[in-house]
Structure 1
Amino acid sequence: MKETIQPLNPIAFTLGPIQVHWYGIIIGSGLALALFLAIREANRRGLPKDTFADLMLWAIPVAIISARIYYVIFEWTYYMHHPSEIIQIWHGGIAIHGALIGSVIATYIFAKKRGISFWKITDIAAPSLILGQAIGRWGNFMNQEAHGGEVSRQFLENLHLPNFIINQMYINGTYYHPTFLYESLWDFAGFILLISLRFVNLRRGELFLSYLIWYSIGRFFIEGMRTDSLMLTTNLRMAQMISIVLVVVAIAVSIYRRKKGLADERYLEKNMQG
């Protein structure tokens, strides 16, 4: 006989006909904290006071739209028959790689228009980005998505997880790997690493490139455990391919910028100009 375990309610509260989902609240909270930390660091590094607040007016909408477009493109066989669901992002189905691509493009354009170094902005934002991702994964937890393959309850108990996580990983009569948690912990570790690297005084741009490398390595291995991946081929997941590309590109860009003298300035240098 299968156990009867009631999952956590993905709806936080209702306002008349409007349902407010935990997914949106958690994602929004992650964004708010990330923005707060970025603004504080930007002020410390001498950027104009409203730089990141203004940037977010561009980057957040672009990131959300591009994240959804990315997901829908690779799930088009489903969405072509359910077009009304394309905009229902509160049910999940946004891809972090899509958000990253969109936000980087928006940041590049913003930096050019403001006359500020793109690399300076992204270095400041890197720890905030990965912290926001760490928090955002708990939105997947509330939706019982982004999980891995089947496991036993004993396996989860052996990880010394609290019961609320174990019970939420019980989906349709089966326990699953909490890959959302694995990635969240990896991202939290990345946040601590990137904050520490600020004091190593890396060359400009290398903090952001370190973020790309750290996140991509973890994502590659964790993605291999998931059951809901967007597939590139029968055996290769799209997120794994992009992770490989990002690691290679980040290393190549770092080497190129050093050889060409484009990374001579360092993160903690007193020159506060863009």
Structure 2
Amino acid sequence: MTPSAYFATIVIDLNPNVARLGPLLITWHGVFSVIGIIAAARVGQYLLAGEGISGEQVYDMAVWMVVAGIIGARLLYVWENYQLFVGAWQKVVFLNEGGISQWGGIFGGLLGGLAWSLRHGIDYRQILDAVGPANALGFAIGRIGDVINGEHHAISSNLPFAVEYVNPETLGQPGRSVHLEVGYELLWNLLVFAGALLTYRRLKLRLPTGVVGLLWLALYSFGRFCLSFLREDSLLYGLRQAQWASLAMILAAAVLSAVWLAWEKRSRSDTELPTAPTAPQG
């Protein structure tokens, strides 16, 4: 007997599909992903306006990051689930059938932003500082679609805020009361957004350029690492693959922060060196 037989459970009876237009299936996941991208771009535009980067440049950069993010998300998913594509590699490009990896999207998006900044001669660390708060809000909004469709399976729960998916079209786990893990991620991303935005506005001038973005990466990764214990994803050496990626990103953020802090300190020391007195003339 399922835990929902003994405890009240939040029932989610929502069709994950919005409409079908010919061969195109519009889903709530897609709708909220688009809304999240737009919201992230607007936050980035607001923050980068103070850095002398125009709104047109921000939206141009967003296109680069979104395209690179989609490619990265799909490629990592294919790599993690290659057995699904053996003998049918043409399905790799069938994005309408679903199947993406968020870590692949993050990595691809960051690389897209780096490529754009190099092309336009803009310090990538400035971009990274704005990307942090922007992505946190965008990810939170995007998770609303995951809450609706239930595709990220979680472990069973008898807590009063556990959920059960009952819609016939659901991608969730009908008949089971489970943790709403993606809902927890949504709340965590909102907290990270608030923290990163506050840090950007209050402490950015005191911190080396890029550290706010690394703070977002570390906090997001920490939350993802902890919450992934509630998922039913396959294990790799005792941890979920997303957890290994999270640990790698936390380490990368820590190393880059240390390097940039040391670099900033050295640069300030060089500018403060006293100049040698000149000999009197005459």
TM-score relative to the length of structure 2: 0.81
State the alpha-carbon separation in 1 of the partners of residues 97 and 266 from structure 2.
42
State the alpha-carbon separation in 2 of the partners of residues 263 and 90 from structure 1.
50
Q: Per-residue displacement from partner, 1:155-207 (whole Å, max 9, x unpaired)?
A: 2xx23x7xxx6556972211211100011111110000001101122321100
3-state SS of paired residue (1:98)? helix
> Cα distance, 1:55 vs. partner?
0.7
* Alpha carbons 1:23, 1:139 under 8 Å: kept: yes
* Corresponding position: 1:137 with 2:140: no
Q: Give the 3 Å change call, closer, same or farther, for CA 244–13 of structure 1 in structure 2.
A: same
The 5 A counterparts of 1:15-34 are 15-34=21-40
* Alpha carbons 1:205, 1:263 under 8 Å: kept: no
Q: Give the 3 Å change call, closer, same or farther, for CA 19–221 of structure 1 in structure 2.
A: same
1:268 is matched with: none
The 5 A counterparts of 1:10-89 are 10-80=16-86, 83=89, 85-89=91-95
> Cα distance, 1:91 vs. partner?
4.9
2:272 is matched with: none
State the alpha-carbon separation in 1 of the partners of residues 111 and 194 from structure 2.
26
Report the residue type matching 1:48 in the other structure: S
State the alpha-carbon separation in 2 of the partners of residues 225 and 139 from structure 1.
19
The 5 A counterparts of 1:235-274 are 235-261=238-264
1:270 is matched with: none
Report the residue type matching 1:183 in the other structure: E
* Alpha carbons 2:137, 2:190 under 8 Å: kept: yes
2:209 is matched with: 204
Q: Per-residue displacement from partner, 1:63-92 (whole Å, max 9, x unpaired)?
A: 011101101111111222554643444454
Q: Give the 3 Å change call, closer, same or farther, for CA 242–16 of structure 1 in structure 2.
A: closer
State the alpha-carbon separation in 1 of the partners of residues 69 and 186 from structure 2.
19
Q: Give the 3 Å change call, closer, same or farther, for CA 6–247 of structure 1 in structure 2.
A: closer
3-state SS of paired residue (2:26)? strand
* Alpha carbons 2:73, 2:101 under 8 Å: kept: yes
1:184 is matched with: 186
Identity score, percent: 26
> Cα distance, 1:15 vs. partner?
2.7
> Cα distance, 1:255 vs. partner?
1.0
2:236 is matched with: 232
State the alpha-carbon separation in 2 of the partners of residues 175 and 186 from structure 1.
22
Q: Give the unaligned 5+ runs of structure 1.
A: 266-274
| Higher Rg of the two aligned structures | 2
* Corresponding position: 1:7 with 2:7: no
The 5 A counterparts of 1:148-167 are 148-152=154-158, 155=159, 158-159=160-161, 166-167=164-165
3-state SS of paired residue (1:174)? coil
3-state SS of paired residue (1:175)? coil
3-state SS of paired residue (1:150)? coil
State the alpha-carbon separation in 1 of the partners of residues 12 and 244 from structure 2.
36
* Corresponding position: 1:223 with 2:228: yes
State the alpha-carbon separation in 2 of the partners of residues 240 and 58 from structure 1.
27
Q: Per-residue displacement from partner, 1:188-235 (whole Å, max 9, x unpaired)?
A: 100000011011223211001101110010010111210135x433x2
Q: 1:214 pairs with 214, 219, 223, which one?
A: 219
Count of aligned pairs: 254
* Alpha carbons 2:12, 2:164 under 8 Å: kept: no
Q: 1:174 pairs with 173, 176, 195, which one?
A: 176
Which stretch of structure 1 is more off in the superposition, 182-191 or 237-246? 237-246
State the alpha-carbon separation in 1 of the partners of residues 44 and 84 from structure 2.
38
> Cα distance, 1:262 vs. partner?
7.5
Report the residue type matching 2:195 in the other structure: L
State the alpha-carbon separation in 2 of the partners of residues 244 and 142 from structure 1.
28
